[in-house]
């Protein structure tokens, strides 16, 4: 049996004879072997604000723990934040007080057994390049300052410096480390109003963890960053469409000009775009300019769920499919950035629609992405029905689709 792991208000953690509990959708479930793995390197244990832990008694009844037995102080629910490369299988089992939604983080359920901490997750990619040990190094401020000194008028580099140092954004940091996938924000506007947007939220909701780009970079500014990275970084990827911006396809003319400028100097590296793919004309223009890969954000292949989450302003799920087909016809490698929430994507109707969408649109890869959102807030806005099969079943089903890659990251599609 996996035991409940909880904490007091000072963050001291305890285990309990109650069985550990996780959450999927709006239901609590006992944690079992197929749900968990030992807490991996790079994961962190955190307290869930204003949340009381729930465990399960031997007879199968759920029990809310409101007090720490030793001190009689309030008991606090504990969750884990996973490093990239791991897909969450269950949310923490807890009950929250009404109030401000949880911060936009991807909390996973945890448990205790035989002196070890376990987390509700599965390893779904090689996490090495996104391991926290490769980032936030002591020399990062020096590397940032050196690049800024070399291009003091480049506003994109200044934006990336802020993202690297203040928000610890890994793709921003890679620009200054000159390696792997580097982010290149270009668009301050968006055509969606995602419930889990990490750069723009209404004041009454959960605060966004970072601020959005507030200017339109010039072609010269963006091309300078892109060209340097593609020429010198090992396994270079330059990615438009970052967490600190809106929808990059709305800046199609600028991105196309940047790609054209860069490709006149080097054929090295991969030019990628992370997009909601709702603006098909912009996607088409960018693909024609020489885009190598596109990662399309998707939470559901069912229109009612898709619309409830993305709240698109002037496009539909059908437009997303059209954009994917435009990209594939241009020879662009297409990944889905599947936003995964236990109790949503692993429902039978959701999974069936997703498989059809992948096969009908000739998608190359699915990148699993833990959705960072308060589940109570999410389920107050989104409705989904059907039997829950479990995240392990979702992963297995995707891996059984012929020719489909399944992982967590964008990877180079050309050297």
The share of the chain scoring above pLDDT 70, in percent, equals 96
DSSP string over 175-230 = HHHT-SEEE----S--S---TT-SS---TTSPPPSSPPP-S---HHHHHHHHHHHH
The reply to whether 205 and 81 lie within a common domain is no
Location of structure tokens 């399944």: 406
The reply to whether 183 and 67 lie within a common domain is no
Answer with the one of 99, 123, 147 that is the final residue of a domain: 123
pLDDT of residue 244 exceeding 90, the answer is: no
Position 352 scores a pLDDT of: 98
Of 271, 285, 363, 276, the residue nearest 325 (C-alpha): 363
pLDDT of residue 415 exceeding 70, the answer is: no
Confidence of residue 369 (pLDDT cuts 50, 70, 90): very high
The reply to whether 53 and 132 lie within a common domain is no
The reply to whether 229 and 89 lie within a common domain is no
Q: Alpha-carbon distance 145 to 27, whole Å?
A: 49
φ/ψ of 116, rounded to 5, equals -125, 150
The reply to whether 350 and 364 lie within a common domain is yes
Alpha carbons within 13 angstroms on the beta-carbon side of residue 303 total 7
The CATH number linked to 199 is 3.20.20.70
Residue 315 domain flag: yes
Q: What is the largest CA-CA distance in the chain?
A: 70
Each residue of 197-241: pLDDT tens digit? 866 555 444 455 556 678 899 999 999 999 999 999 999 999 999
The reply to whether 13 and 110 lie within a common domain is yes
Residue 413 domain flag: no
Position 280 scores a pLDDT of: 98
Position 185 scores a pLDDT of: 94
Answer with the one of 74, 105, 123 that is the final residue of a domain: 123
Confidence of residue 262 (pLDDT cuts 50, 70, 90): very high
The reply to whether 107 and 215 lie within a common domain is no
Residue 241 domain flag: yes
Q: Alpha-carbon distance 319 to 127, whole Å?
A: 33
The reply to whether 180 and 272 lie within a common domain is yes
The share of the chain scoring above pLDDT 90, in percent, equals 87
Position 203 scores a pLDDT of: 43
Show the domain range for 353: 128-407
Q: Alpha-carbon distance 254 to 90, whole Å?
A: 41
Residue 321 domain flag: yes
340-362 mean pLDDT: 98
| Count of the separate structural domains present in the chain | 2
Residue 414 domain flag: no
Each residue of 95-131: pLDDT tens digit? 987 677 888 899 999 999 999 999 999 999 999 999 9
Q: Alpha-carbon distance 270 to 411, whole Å?
A: 9
Q: Alpha-carbon distance 61 to 104, whole Å?
A: 30
The reply to whether 115 and 191 lie within a common domain is no
Position 211 scores a pLDDT of: 67
181-188 mean pLDDT: 94
Residue 138 domain flag: yes
* 397: Cα separation from own chain's centroid: 20
pLDDT of residue 55 exceeding 80, the answer is: yes
The reply to whether 56 and 185 lie within a common domain is no
Confidence of residue 245 (pLDDT cuts 50, 70, 90): confident
Tell me which of 7-11, 243-247, 338-342 is least confident: 243-247
The reply to whether 98 and 236 lie within a common domain is no
Q: Decide if 44 contacts 108 (C-beta within 8 A).
A: no
Task: Give the residue with greater pLDDT, 166 vs 209.
Answer: 166
Q: Alpha-carbon distance 122 to 125, whole Å?
A: 9
- Residues in CB range of 44: below 8 A, 6 or more apart: 80, 81
pLDDT of residue 64 exceeding 80, the answer is: yes
Which two structure tokens, joined as six digits, stand for 408? 């967590």
Note the pTM of the prediction, 2 decimals: 0.94
Answer with the one of 98, 123, 148 that is the final residue of a domain: 123
Position 205 scores a pLDDT of: 47
The reply to whether 136 and 106 lie within a common domain is no
Position 149 scores a pLDDT of: 97
Q: Alpha-carbon distance 282 to 256, whole Å?
A: 9
Residue 169 domain flag: yes
Position 210 scores a pLDDT of: 57
Average pLDDT, the chain: 93
Confidence of residue 389 (pLDDT cuts 50, 70, 90): very high
Each residue of 128-156: pLDDT tens digit? 999 999 999 999 999 999 999 999 999 99
Residue 11 domain flag: yes
Q: Decide if 306 contacts 321 (C-beta within 8 A).
A: no
């Amino acid at each position: 049996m996996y035991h409940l792991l909880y904490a007091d208000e000072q963050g001291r953690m305890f285990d309990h004879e109650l069985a550990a509990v996780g959450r999927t959708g709006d239901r609590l479930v006992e944690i079992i072997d197929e749900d968990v793995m030992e807490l991996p390197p790079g994961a962190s244990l955190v307290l869930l604000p204003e949340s009381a832990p729930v465990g399960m008694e031997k007879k199968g009844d759920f029990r809310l723990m409101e007090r720490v037995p030793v001190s009689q102080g309030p008991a606090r629910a504990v969750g884990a934040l996973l490093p990239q490369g791991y897909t969450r299988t269950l949310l923490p089992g807890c009950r929250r007080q009404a109030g401000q939604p949880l911060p936009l983080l991807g909390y996973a359920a945890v448990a205790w057994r035989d002196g070890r901490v376990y987390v509700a997750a599965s390893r779904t990619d090689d996490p090495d390049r996104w391991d926290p040990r490769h980032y936030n190094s002591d020399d990062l401020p020096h590397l940032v300052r050196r690049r800024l000194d070399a291009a003091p008028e480049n506003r994109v580099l200044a934006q990336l410096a802020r993202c690297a140092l203040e928000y610890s954004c890994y793709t921003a940091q890679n620009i200054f480390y000159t390696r792997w996938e580097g982010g290149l924000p270009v668009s301050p506007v968006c055509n969606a109003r995602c419930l889990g947007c990490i750069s723009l939220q209404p004041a009454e909701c959960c605060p966004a963890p970072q601020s959005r780009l507030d200017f339109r970079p010039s072609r010269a500014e963006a091309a300078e960053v892109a060209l340097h990275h593609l020429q010198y970084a090992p396994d270079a990827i330059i990615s438009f469409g970052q967490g600190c911006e809106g929808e990059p396809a709305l800046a199609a003319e600028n991105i196309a000009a940047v790609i054209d400028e860069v490709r006149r100097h080097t054929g090295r590296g991969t030019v990628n775009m992370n997009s909601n793919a709702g603006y098909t004309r912009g996607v088409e223009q960018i693909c024609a300019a020489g885009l190598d890969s596109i990662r399309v954000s998707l939470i559901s292949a069912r229109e009612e769920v898709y619309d409830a989450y993305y709240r698109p302003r002037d496009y539909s799920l059908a437009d997303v499919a059209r954009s994917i087909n435009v990209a594939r016809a241009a020879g662009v490698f297409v990944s889905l950035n599947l936003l995964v929430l236990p109790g949503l994507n692993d429902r039978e109707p959701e999974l069936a629609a997703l498989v059809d969408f992948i096969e009908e649109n000739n998608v190359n890869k699915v990148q699993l992405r833990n959705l960072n959102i308060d589940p109570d807030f999410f389920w107050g806005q989104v409705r989904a029905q059907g039997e829950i099969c479990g995240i392990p079943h979702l992963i297995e089903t995707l891996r059984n689709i012929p020719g489909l890659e399944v992982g967590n990251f964008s990877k180079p599609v050309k050297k």
